[in-house]
Structures are given as structure tokens and as C-alpha cells.
Amino acid sequence: MSSQLALEPIPASLLPPAGNMLRIGAPGRAPEPTYYGLPMLKKPLWSWEIALYFFGEGISSGCFVLATAAEFFGGKDYARFIRVARFVSFATMIPCPPLLIADLGRPERFLHMLRVFKPSSPMNLGAWALTGFGVPVTILALAHAPGLVPRPFRLLLRRAPAKWLVLLGLGPAFIMMSYPGVLLATTSTPIWTRTRALGALLASSSMVTSAAALALASAIHPFMDDFAREAMRKIETAAHICETGALAAYLLETGRAADPIVRGSQARNFWYGAVGCGLVLPWLIHRAKGKKPRRAATIVSALLTLAGGLALKWSIVHAGHESALDGDANRRATAASPRNPGWRPSLS
Amino acid sequence: MNPEIIDVWKRPPAPEPREEMGFFTDTTLCIGCKACEVACKQWNQLPADGFRWTGMSYDNTVALNSVTWRHVAFVEQFDRDGQPSRWLMMSDVCKHCVEAPCLEACPTGSLIYNEFGSVYVQQDVCNGCAYCVAACPFGVLDRNSEDGRAHKCTLCYDRQKDGMTPACAKSCPTESIQFGPVRELRERARERVRELHARGETDAYLYGDEASGEYSALNAFFLLKDHPNVYNLPEAPHRPAAQMKKNYLASFAVSIAMAAVSALCFARGKA
């Protein structure tokens, strides 16, 4: 089996610039406590698939939660809104499993994720949540469009216990909303791991993007009544406030380890995309448009919010690459503290 | 039906737990011969690292990766006048943490503690999700780009099953790499530190012989002579899952609060 293994070339990013040795041994300088400036950690291998997956599953679970809230608390007035929210939830759920499978080193073994139930691993919990979420979402969406279903199954679908399916999907939906940030935080990558706010940040971003997706759908195909539109606007504002707070908490807690998004390789995506398009511009449009929003303004605002949500998840996932290979960041992140003294030469 | 086919579905009994085995790597004895690297590659049939010069030191291996499970670090130190003062050499390996973050992260249950207490990747289960790669605080695990699975030191599980010493420890000519029951090794290591201190080598200390702060003890631990960063080891590794509950709590609180706000808005907005 091992004979199948191929030679791994040393990535250029792992090799220090020539002359590093002179720096270590320069006369008059105390040797710096580093190993030729090499990184300590391996680069996380998650990339665009995971960024897109976090974006898609965020909208999917957020729309499911919104539809459910409208169903239980809004009642019959929201029938069209619920129907569209269930469709958006279903449509954004569809690309999720393929993205996750494509990300694996051994895609044909994707079902091994469900070989055990291991909530101590956020990835395992997420895989179970996606499974438990996908089934009710699919049935509920198809129940609203029986025309798409082959005739023999239609009767079954009509008999589907919608209320129970909604309750069945609600728990997994909350897990799907909440776990991506926790998954990233449960690693050793400095930019992800030094915080308790990353889960909340990605969860609130998911809610913001779901509200934007529904606003966009309603602007293109006006299914929302004025009162639904008003409710959605309030929800989006609340989620935006949550996101801003979580973002501030995340940046404060992470400190210098957040450099890859603050001034490093992902700074452009983060500042222009996540903050500019995702937070500032929609807020400005929201302020400018006043009581009676115009359709074009709604569309532009929703598109900007969606782009900002994608940019946030994209930049945070990709910033892990730079962060893990930054030896200095990791040395700072793993410096001894009274709570975590580590192992050091004793001075006795 | 053929009984052998039925047997496939029966879970064989788990092997009896045995005494925990591990490595004690005494870097004061390492001469940098790289016999451990070669023996590991030979026994585990791993491909060579290629003929590349890093140009910075005698270390042309650079780091542990999916096909290099022993790595000898070479640290050349100079005094304030720029004169060479001492060499530090360390044969690095998977630390086989008592509470391993890679194992906690693994979503498939591919990573397990085997009966010798070593952290082991079951290659027939691993699906290459790469969570362990990001979770390991020592940068040990890596996914092989050709074969798509995570690989690392097995502590020569196959050799141990037959009562043999792992290849690296067997080949070490100076007994810098010592293999044995972890309990005995820890005793021996502490004795060695006392001995070195008595001889005036007061900078000697053990890295990973006992749990420290939030991180567990290591079953492959080291005797070092300088700051851990000098050997590219973290001074105080964090247990990635240490903050997981708080993260979940904040995350669920925000999700549920936002759902409650939406419910309120929908209830108020009824026509």
C-alpha cells in the first residue's frame, strides 16, 4: 500500500530565503529562537470548495430557519413567503454535498463521514447535520411543487407530515448555521483558533446572506407583501448588527493573528468585500432609500450583501493558508502563559 | 451461506489493551546521522525526499510530512563573536499525544489509539478530509497529494505487533531514540535530566513528559537543551478543542437569538 505513495516535493513556501542562516548566526546578535524561520504548521488544505460550501449551507439553513419562524409565528399570511424560502433553502442545499465530496482526498469514501457519530469532531457533527437537514428540506420543497415529482410519489408527498418534517429539520438547521466557525476554530491555525467569536461571526453572516437572498428573490419575483418585506428588513438589520458585533469581537480577540485578513493576502477580499460590500454599502443604501424602497435599490443592496457574505467566508477560509505558514504568528500564538505554561528550560 | 461471508459483517474483538509504548528522544545523544530517517523510510516503504539542498543547513529534509515520519533537525549556534559554539540535533517525530487533537478532530474515526496507546491512522478508513492536518499543533500530519490520505508515524505498529522495536529506535547508533513502556521511559528521562544537571548541563529539560496547562503529555517526548522554538516546536501548544464549547455556545446563542427576533418580526407584521 505504501508503495503507492509518491514523492512529495518541498513546497517553495516552506523553504526560507537563502542567507537565513547568516541571520541566525550574525555576530553580535543573540540567536533568535526560531528554526531557520520555517513554519511550524502545515497549510490547511481547504480552499474554494469549503468557502463556497460555507456560503451555500449558510443561506440554506438560514432560509429554513426563517421559513420555519414565519410558518409558526406568522401564520397563513406568509404562505407565499414560506414557499419561496423553502425553495431557496432547497436550491442552495443542492450544491453542498458535491462541494464537500470534491474537497476530500478520497472522494469515493465520503460516506465514511457517517461511519461513526462523533460530536467531538465538528466536521462529523456537520456531516450528520447536513444529512439530517437534506432529507426534510428536499421533501418540503418538493411538497410545494408536486409537478416536479413522478406521479406515483405524489400521493406520498401529499401525505408528508409537513409540521413534523419542519421540526425534524430545525435542529440540524441550527447546527448547520452554527458549526462552520466552530470547525475552523477547533484547529491550530492562529487566525482561526484564538477566538470564541468565529462561530457567532459565520452564523450571523449566514443569517444576513439568507435574508439578502430572500430579498433578492422577492425583488425579482415579487412574492412578498409589504408587511413581509417590512419584517424581512428588520430581520436583516438585526442580523447585520449581530454580524458587526461578532466581527468586532473576533478581530479584538484574534489580535495580530488576524493579520492575513487585516493587512495580508486576504486584506482586499476582507475590507472591500466583507466590510465594504457586505456591511457599509448595504447600510448606506438602507439609510438613503427611506420608507418606500425602490426595486433597483433592493436588488443592488441584496447583491452587495451576498457578495460581502461570500467574501467574508472566502477570506477567512483562505487566510488560514497564510496564517499557518507564518511561523512568527504561530510562535506568538503558542507562547507560554500562566494558564498554559508549556514546556520550557527551567532556570533553576 | 458461506460462513466466511457472514464473518465479514461480524466485528472482530478489539485487541487487548497493552502497556503504553512510546519514544524518548534524548537530543543530547543525537549525532545527526539520519539513520532513523533512512530506517523509517525503508521499513515503511516510503519514497525518498529527493536530492535537494536547502542551502541553509545540513537539514535537507526540512519538516515532517506524509512520506517523512522522522526528521532530524540541525541547529548550528554561534556565540556573540560569530564563532560556532555548539550543534543541537533532534530527531523529530509524531508526538503521539495522550489526548491527540488530530484524533479529536477526525470525523471518520480513522484516527484511533491502538492497543499500545499510539495515535494511528487507519488507512482503509481515512477519506482525506484534512481536518487532522489543520488540527495538529506540531504540523506533523499531512495529506499525500497522490494518494489523498493523511499519513504519519505509526510508531511501527506492525513491528510492535510482533514484539519488535520500531525501525528508527532500532537503527539509532547512540540510543538517542529510546523505545519502551512510557512509564519506564519517563522515569529514565527524569533520571537523565538530574544526571545532566549534576554535570553542569543545567539547560537540559524534558519536553512533553507530563501534561502542561491545557495540553496533555506526549508519548513521544524529548530531552531538549534550548527553547522549543529553536527546534521548531511550539513552546506551549494549545488544545484546539479547549475553546470549542464556548464557541458553540456563542454560535448557538446568536443563531437562536436571530431566529427569535425573526419570529417576533413575523408575528408583529401579520396583516
Q: A33 to chain B: nearest residue by CA?
A: B230
Cβ atoms B74, A16 nearer than 8 A: no
Structure confidence at residue A286 as a pLDDT band (50, 70, 90)? confident
Predicted model pTM: 0.92
Q: Can you tell me whether residue B74 is helix, strand or coil?
A: strand
Which set of grid coordinates corresponds to residue A331? 510562535
Which set of grid coordinates corresponds to residue B130? 484534512
Per-residue pLDDT, A77: 85
- Does residue A292 have a pLDDT over 70? no
Q: Can you tell me whether residue B84 is helix, strand or coil?
A: strand
Cβ atoms A202, A83 nearer than 8 A: no
For residue A238, which residues of chain B lie inside 8 Å, CB to CB?
A: 258, 261-262, 265
Rounded alpha-carbon distances, angstroms, from residue B187 to A171, A345, B206: 50, 18, 11
Q: A109 to chain B: nearest residue by CA?
A: B127
For residue B208, which residues of chain A lie inside 8 Å, CB to CB?
A: 343
- Does residue B184 have a pLDDT over 80? yes
Chain B, 45 to 84: residues with Cβ < 8 Å from chain A are 45-50, 52, 54-57, 59, 62-63, 65-68, 73, 75-78, 80-82, 84
Per-residue pLDDT, A19: 36
- Does residue A209 have a pLDDT over 70? yes
Q: A193 to chain B: nearest residue by CA?
A: B240
Nearest to B235 among A35, A195, A336 (CB): A336
Per-residue pLDDT, A28: 42
Bridge partners for A229 per DSSP: none
Contact B56 A345 (CB under 8 A): no
B233 touches chain A (CB under 8 A): yes
- Does residue A3 have a pLDDT over 50? no
Question: How many CB atoms neighbour CB B10 within 10 A?
Answer: 7
User: What's the average model confidence in pLDDT over B229-250?
Assistant: 94
Question: How many CB atoms neighbour CB A17 within 10 A?
Answer: 10
Give the model confidence (pLDDT) of A94-149 as tens digits: 999 999 999 999 999 999 999 999 999 999 999 999 999 999 999 999 888 878 88
Least Cα separation, residue B31 to chain A (angstroms): 18
Contact A38 B62 (CB under 8 A): yes
Per-residue pLDDT, A15: 52
Q: Can you tell me whether residue A74 is helix, strand or coil?
A: helix
Which set of grid coordinates corresponds to residue A121? 469532531
Show contacts of B192-197: CB within 8 Å, 24+ apart: B192/B26, B192/B223, B193/B223, B196/B28
Per-residue pLDDT, B58: 86
B211 touches chain A (CB under 8 A): no
User: What's the average model confidence in pLDDT over B236-258?
Assistant: 95
B250 touches chain A (CB under 8 A): yes
Per-residue pLDDT, B268: 84
Structure confidence at residue A32 as a pLDDT band (50, 70, 90)? low
- Does residue A23 have a pLDDT over 50? no
Q: What is the 3-state secondary structure (H, E, C) of A207-267?
A: HHHHHHHHHHHHHHCCCCCHHHHHHHHHHHHHHHHHHHHHHHHHHHHHHHHHHHHHCCCCH
Cβ pairs bridging A and B (under 8 Å): 370
Instruction: Return d(Cα B174, Cα A247) in angstroms, integer.
Output: 53
Q: Can you tell me whether residue B233 is helix, strand or coil?
A: coil
Per-residue pLDDT, A10: 56
- Does residue A72 have a pLDDT over 50? yes
Residues 6+ apart with CB under 8 A from A118: A124, A125, B106, B107, B109
Structure confidence at residue A7 as a pLDDT band (50, 70, 90)? low
Per-residue pLDDT, A65: 97
B215 touches chain A (CB under 8 A): yes
Sheet holding B177-181, edge to edge: B177-181, B21-26, B220-224, B205-207
Contact A40 B139 (CB under 8 A): yes
Least Cα separation, residue A57 to chain B (angstroms): 14
Rounded alpha-carbon distances, angstroms, from residue A254 to A241, A276, A339: 20, 21, 18
Cβ atoms B239, B215 nearer than 8 A: yes
Contact B46 A2 (CB under 8 A): yes
Least Cα separation, residue B19 to chain A (angstroms): 25
User: What's the average model confidence in pLDDT over A150-163?
Assistant: 81
For residue B203, which residues of chain A lie inside 8 Å, CB to CB?
A: 345
Cβ atoms B81, A88 nearer than 8 A: no
Per-residue pLDDT, A216: 92
Instruction: Return d(Cα A185, Cα A224) in angstroms, integer.
Output: 38
Least Cα separation, residue B89 to chain A (angstroms): 12
- Does residue A230 have a pLDDT over 90? no
Per-residue pLDDT, B2: 65
For residue A322, which of A184, A182, A190 has the smallest C-alpha distance? A190
For residue A340, which residues of chain B lie inside 8 Å, CB to CB?
A: 212-215, 236, 238
Least Cα separation, residue B134 to chain A (angstroms): 5
Chain B, 20 to 49: residues with Cβ < 8 Å from chain A are 44-49
Per-residue pLDDT, A14: 57
For residue A235, which residues of chain B lie inside 8 Å, CB to CB?
A: 258, 261-262, 265
Instruction: Return d(Cα B67, Cα B38) in angstroms, integer.
Output: 12
Per-residue pLDDT, B270: 67
More confident residue, A29 or B182: B182
- Does residue B10 have a pLDDT over 70? yes
Structure confidence at residue A158 as a pLDDT band (50, 70, 90)? confident
User: What's the average model confidence in pLDDT over A218-228?
Assistant: 84
Main-chain phi, psi angles of B228, to 5 degrees: -55, -35
The mean of the pLDDT values for chain A is 88
Residue among B68, B92, B258 with most chain A CBs within 10 A, to mutate: B258
Residue among A244, A343, A348 with most chain B CBs within 10 A, to mutate: A343
Strands (E), chain A: none
Least Cα separation, residue B81 to chain A (angstroms): 5
Per-residue pLDDT, B7: 73
The CA-CA-CA angle for residues A319, A324, A326, to 5°, reads: 95
Instruction: Return d(Cα B29, Cα B31) in angstroms, integer.
Output: 6
B127 touches chain A (CB under 8 A): yes
For residue A117, which residues of chain B lie inside 8 Å, CB to CB?
A: none
